[in-house]
Amino acid sequence: MLRRTLLATLLIATPVLAQTSAVMAQPIPVGSVEILSGPAAAYGIAIKSGMELALDEVNAKGVLGGRKIALIVEDSAGQKDQGLNAARKLIGRDKVIAIIGPTLSTEMFAIGPVVNERKIPIIGTSTTATGVTAIGDYVFRTSLPESDVLPVTLKAAMARGVKTIALMYANDEAFAKSGFEVMKATADKVGLKIVAIETFGSKDSDFSAQLTKIKALKPDAIGLSALVEPTAGVLLQARQLGFGKETQFIGGNGANSPKLGEIAGPAADGLIVGSPWFIAKKDQVNADFVAAFRARFNKDPDQFAAQSYDALKILAAAIDRAGAADSEKVRDALLKTDYSGVMGAFQFTPGRDPASTSGVVVLTMQGGKFVVLE
Amino acid sequence: MMPAWLASDWTIPAGLDDFLWTYGHLINSLGINGLLALSMYVVLAVGQLSLGQAAFMGLGAYSSVLMTLTLKLPFYVVLPASCLVPVLFALAVGVPTLRLSGVYLAIATIGLGEVLRALYLNVDVFGGALGINGIPERAQTWMIFGMLILALLGLWLVGRSRIGRAMEAMREDATAAAVMGVNVPGYQLGALVASAVLAGIAGCLSAHQSSFIGPNEYGFEPAVTILSFALLGGIGTPVAPVVGAWILTLLPELLRGFSDLRLVFNGLIIVVAVLFLPHGLLGWRMRRRAA
């Protein structure tokens, strides 16, 4: 009898022992849903590059005493259904303990509730729309919402003598419309007088009717909320219609792309835009990041890569502090984040948004390139 | 002693439960896309190239979401009511546009979709480009597949009846069918209304299982996707377009393993299928008893 019990104990204990050591060595699964194919793939690929760079640095040391993080990136193709399928696959099959992404705010509105219901933390690195973190207690974001960036930009414009503003935005883009709403609310709050509000479509090529109307009103500034292509189109046409240096152009987050200078050239000169990150920021962390990114990917990082680089490191640090690969503990640890990365000092508010706007830089276009506004 | 599987009180085993959760959205998408394929089938079956399915789907989705969120109606009222607005539109649009045929009808119906997209973008009730979020998950898998089976059965019975014969005659040659006494405009309008009902219900079900809808989900691209369901499957029987929809819905998920080459394989499979099976995967026609 005794022998049998012993044998049984051994039989039970052996796999358990094997299992514990296997768990120790097992990598920690972390998922990500990004747009890797289709028209908006450029954003997702930049985000993926930023995460991969951070992952190498994290895994060189490991978390939780030497365990590696296994990052599984799934493609949403920018489509709601594929994004949902990807998130469910990551949670159900890959058993990820946290998710980074998705790329667009509209995708987050579809994916966020499902992930939140499963009590898995999800961290948006590029979701700037209002209401994203209100989805639930497990939805975080490291991207500064436009409501944090625009006040800094508009105040910089006011310091340069701007008193009246006309607003233009693309009304067929969630991102552009959300940016416009924030721009309007911010202008009201800081005391800028809005003289006109005009809309256009993201694929329009003729903005002359809207611009002519605005020109007659002679505003000190024009605020633009749209993706980079239509923003460049508006600027080019504005110069043709005779808008000169006396009008201050102010861009939303969409204008914050090197492509603006490539498309619009000298027409974009003088435009100002607020950015959570700038490639030429002088601190050591940023310089190291830019150098490492160039060495690995042979190109310059953009703000999306910078944001996701920080997000993965913030998550890795939270897993370490949580003391276990457990979603619930990681969520609590995330809330206690105190991190200093390429975007500057970083903490979460109790509402799971970024707490500080100290990293925001106001940039201006000069000769087709962004420089920090002096 | 009772065997373990009896003692477990008929709950779904943990492994299967996990599987169902992981692929829950995909399984529901199969049902919804099946309904959309049928909505395409009913118009193609009478020889009309009408591409308004995505627009009807959007009408069903937006109207049902507003019924749920602002009027707080229960889902068993919302689901049947979701086809009202699409049907009204089908009647209003159908009478003038059914004078068109072929590619002209296709262009007019694509126009309908774009007009509605502009409406969703510019009218505040629809949330503009930000869409509507926070839609409760009311659509259950059994409802979706129940509707699909009902629609399949209904269309199969219609297809085998006198009406089905008339539809097939119209598809081959509308003029000849009219000469033989088939009420061509009547059947065409009927098909358009049936198409609107199916698409409206699919729109309602899909909106109530993913918590977010936006105007770009019902534009030109989804219209073409729905057409491709029917093209891949074929339109000989109602089952064929559903099979086409299932393949096109499953492919991107089955090919996830290829990661970067996913779209390439997806496209390749479709091109090969269309090249070698011009009548669709299931090209045969419905069998009927001799009259």
For residues A253 and A367, state if they share a domain: yes
Task: Tell me if residue B213 falls in helix, strand or coil.
Answer: strand
| Residue A207 is assigned to a structural domain of this protein | yes
Residue A118, token pair as written in the block: 């499963």
User: Do A186 and A227 fall into the same domain?
Assistant: yes
Domain membership flag for residue B18: no
Chain mean position to CA A115: 18
Cross-chain Cβ contact B25/A171 below 8 Å? no
Lowest mean pLDDT among A5-9, A278-282, B109-113, B232-236: A5-9
The per-type count for chain A, helices as H runs and strands as E runs, is 12, 14
Which chain A residue has its CA at the smallest distance from B29's CA? A81
DSSP string, A34-79: E--SSTTHHHHHHHHHHHHHHHHHHHHH-BTTTBPEEEEEEE-TT-
- 3-state DSSP call for residue B235? coil
pLDDT-derived band of residue B68, with 50, 70 and 90 as boundaries? very high
- Mapping DSSP to helix (H, G, I), strand (E, B) and coil, where does residue A235 land? helix
How many domains is chain B partitioned into structurally? 1
A47 found inside a domain? yes
Q: How many residues does chain B have?
A: 291
Q: Are residues A151 and A293 in the same domain?
A: no
Q: Is the dihedral of CA A255, A256, A259, A263 positive or negative?
A: positive
Distance CA A327, CA A336 (A): 15
Residue B62, pLDDT above cutoff 50:
yes
In a domain, A347, yes or no: no
CATH number for the domain including A198? 3.40.50.2300
For the cut 90, the answer to whether the pLDDT of residue B72 exceeds it is yes
In a domain, B9, yes or no: no
Is residue A1, in this structure, part of any structural domain at all? Answer: no
pLDDT of residue B259: 67
Distance CA A269, CA A278 (A): 17
Mean pLDDT of chain A: 89
Q: Are A300 and A294 in contact (CB under 8 A)?
A: yes
Same domain, A226 and A244: yes
Is residue B108 situated within a structural domain? Answer: yes
Nearest to B218, CA basis, from B62, B65, B103: B62
Query: What are A's interface residues with B at a Cβ cutoff of 8 A?
Result: 36-37, 74-75, 77, 80-82, 84-86, 88-89, 91-93, 106, 109-110, 113-114, 129, 131, 170-174, 176-178
Pair (A247, A294) in one structural domain: no
Are residues A297 and A208 located together in one domain of the fold?
Answer: no
Percent with pLDDT over 90 in chain B: 58
Name the β-bridge partners of A33. A74
Assess whether A80 and A125 both reside in one domain: yes
- Please answer yes or no on whether B130 and A89 come within 8 Å at the CB atom: no
Percentage of chain A modeled with pLDDT above 70? 93
Phi and psi based region of residue A218 (left: phi greater than 0; alpha: psi -120 to 50; beta: remaining)? left
The answer on A293 and A191 residing in a single domain is no
Gap between the Cα atoms of B16 and A300, Å rounded: 46
Question: Does the pLDDT of residue B138 top 60, yes or no?
Answer: yes
Please give the pLDDT value at position B1: 43
Distance from C-alpha of A294 to C-alpha of A302, rounded to nearest angstrom: 11
Other beta carbons within 10 angstroms of residue B226's beta carbon come to 25
pLDDT confidence of residue B40: 96
The 10s digit of each residue's pLDDT in A127-149 is 988 889 999 999 999 998 888 89
CATH number at residue B234: 1.10.3470
The pLDDT value given to residue A57 = 95
Is residue A235, in this structure, part of any structural domain at all?
yes
Contact flag B212-A80 (C-beta cutoff 8 Å): yes
d(CA A302, CA A269): 20
| DSSP letter (8 states) at residue A97 | S
> What is the rounded average pLDDT for all residues in chain B?
88
Whether A134 maps to a domain, the answer reads: yes
Mean pLDDT by 10 residues, chain A (374 residues): 49 47 75 90 92 96 92 92 94 95 92 95 92 94 89 92 95 88 93 94 91 94 92 94 93 87 92 91 91 94 93 96 94 95 92 88 91 86
Asked if residue A236 and residue A366 are part of one domain, the reply reads yes
pLDDT at site B14: 66
**Chain A residue closest to B209 (CA)?**
A110
Q: Is B51 domain-assigned?
A: yes
Q: Is residue A133 part of a domain?
A: yes
- Domain with A61, as residue range(s), is 28-144+282-342
Chain A: closest CA distance from residue B121 (Å): 6
Domain coverage including residue B148: 26-276
Say if A216 falls within a structural domain.
yes
Residue B63 lies in a domain: yes
Report how many domains make up chain A. 2
Distance of CA A348 to the CA centre of its chain: 14
Task: Kindly state whether residues A251 and A366 are assigned to the same domain.
Answer: yes
The pLDDT of residue B223 is above 50: yes
Q: What is the pLDDT of residue B24?
A: 92
Span A190-238, pLDDT tens digits: 999 999 999 999 889 999 999 999 999 999 999 999 988 899 999 999 9
Mark whether A129 and A155 lie in a shared domain: no
Give the list of residues 6+ apart from residue A148 with CB closer than 8 angstroms, or none: A353, A354, A357, A360
Residue B11 inside a domain? The answer is no
Kindly report, residue by residue over A104-133, the tens digit of the pLDDT.
988 999 999 999 999 999 999 999 888 899
pLDDT at B84: 96
Q: Average pLDDT for residues B224-236, to the nearest whole number?
A: 90
Preferred mutation among B211, B226, B258, B266 to probe A, highest tally of A CBs within 10 A: B211
Whether A236 and A257 share a structural domain: yes
Kindly list the residues from chain B whose CB atom is less than 8 angstroms away from the CB atom of residue A37. Answer: 262-263
Considering only A218-232, B3-17, B82-96, which range has the smallest mean pLDDT?
B3-17
Residue B255's pLDDT band (boundaries 50, 70, 90)?
confident
